Amino acid sequence: MDWKEVTIYTTTAGIGPVEALLEEHGVEGYVLEDAADFEEFLKDTEIYWDYVDEDLVREKRAQETCLKIYLPDSGEGAKQYAGIRASLESLKARDEAHAWGRLCTETALTRQEDWEWGWKQYFKPFPVGGSFLIKPSWERVDDAQGRRILEIDPASSFGTGSHDTTQLCMAALERYVRPGDALLDMGTGSGILAIAAAMLGADVRTVVDIDENCLKTARENAEKNHVSIGRGLCGDALRDAGLAEEIGAGYRIIVANIVADVIIGMAPMFAGKLAAGGVLICSGILNERASEVAAALEQTGFVILSREESKDWSAFAAKK
């Protein structure tokens, strides 16, 4: 069955009335794109960004709040859509203050295969570093050519393995991880780095992320690869002293694929959590910020072991 995507344009104030209208027509699920969320997102997560694309900011700020629903592309779906449009016209007539926006719709046809697969068709197996082959669960590999197969489904989390920063970190893990090394993964995302470390023989004890969904995805991915990634802790260790303490210390390896400002801010914490002679592997660092990160690490007492870079990104390995 194919589906009709219906986009209803409104405002933040109009979300509640439109939700109630949809519920009256038997629509319980929808995708909400609230224009106000983008401003809140920028404000609340400012520390985690090295830069924000100004074109993207302008584009997002120009977007209207909308709700997207999916109706079957059938006679019954057409009838349901007609009823929703009629109710929107009634709602618009009640909105004397014009607070609920345009309350109009746009439609597009979504094919069943697009609905189910979407971006998945572009995620194919590929080699990373000297020993890994990354693959999604829906792809088959007949000949891994001696590489370790790491199966990853990112869901909504960062980390398919295709980004330069992930690959730089995986190459560093291959270089520095020894069997039995106690490891901490800060900003685990899909769990790909913790899983790679475990496959290399590390004793992954703790993974941390600010998003609970990431921890769930990481756990599921670890199970697919038959490895343990220890306990998952959710929160912001820069701002939560209790979480920072709960993470513990004595790690032989810390891997942190985040951003420059957070790495700089966490440098003293990393030093305190590494065992003597331990190694910090960090990336998510734009090349133009690399010197700042190196200086912060050295001021904290780290010795830079290596700096690897791609076209835009850098990764460091530093010893305590």
**Annotated binding site for S-adenosyl-L-methionine, which residues?**
166, 187, 209, 257
Longest distance between any two alpha carbons in the chain, whole Å: 71
Adjacent-strand bridge partners of 10 = 65
Residue whose tokens read 């820069």: 238
Backbone phi and psi for residue 289, each to the nearest 5 degrees, phi listed first = -100, -5
By C-alpha distance, which of 64, 57, 63, 26 is closest to 42? 57
- Is the CB of residue 132 less than 8 Å from the CB of residue 147? yes
List Cβ<8 Å contacts ≥24 apart for 140-148: 148/199
Length of the chain: 320
DSSP labels, 133-153: EEE-TT---S--TTPEEEE--
Give the whole-angstrom CA distance, residue 88 versus residue 79: 14
Residue type, 294: A
Annotated binding site: 166, 187, 209, 257
